[in-house]
Amino acid sequence: MKLSKTEEQLMQHLWKLQKAFMKDILEQYDEPKPATTTIATLLKRMTDKGYVSYTTFGKSREYYPLIKKEDYFSNHLNGLIKNFFNDSASQFASFFTKETNLSDTELKELRKIIDQQLKDNNQ
């Protein structure tokens, strides 16, 4: 089952912290912070969905993500691509480079990555 928007946001914090107690999580939020119980509810739901687990330390828990950000995102992206670009990553890539305003430096960086990829592919 997928995470909702708000749950995803919480995941971001967990990914960042790796391991976190309730208070660490709360700290991550900007003012006005959500109620502790709100976070608790979200964490429980996320645990049920299989995205989060925790180690019990005395009365409280240290939460951690069960899925890597990269993996989660990868799926996400594939869904997006499938949905919007008939499953064609290259079509997406072209769209992407046109639509996002990358600076020259960023474009060059990206080209470097591509060249590296090409090299890797061919030996």
Residues that bind DNA (CB under 7 A): 1-2, 4-7, 21-23, 26, 34-38, 40-45, 54, 58-61
- Residues with Cβ within 8 Å of 67's Cβ and at least 6 positions away in sequence, in order, are 51
Q: Taking a C-beta distance cutoff of 8 angstroms, is the pair 14, 20 a contact?
A: yes
Determine the size of the site formed for a second copy (CB under 8 A). 41
Q: At closest approach, how far in Å is the CB of 42 from a second copy? A: 16
DSSP 61-96: EEEEESS-HHHHHHHHHHHHHHHHSTT-HHHHHHHH
Residues lying near a second copy in the complex (CB under 8 A) are found at: 8-9, 12, 69-70, 73-74, 76-78, 80-81, 83-84, 89-90, 93-104, 106-111, 113-115, 117-118, 121-122
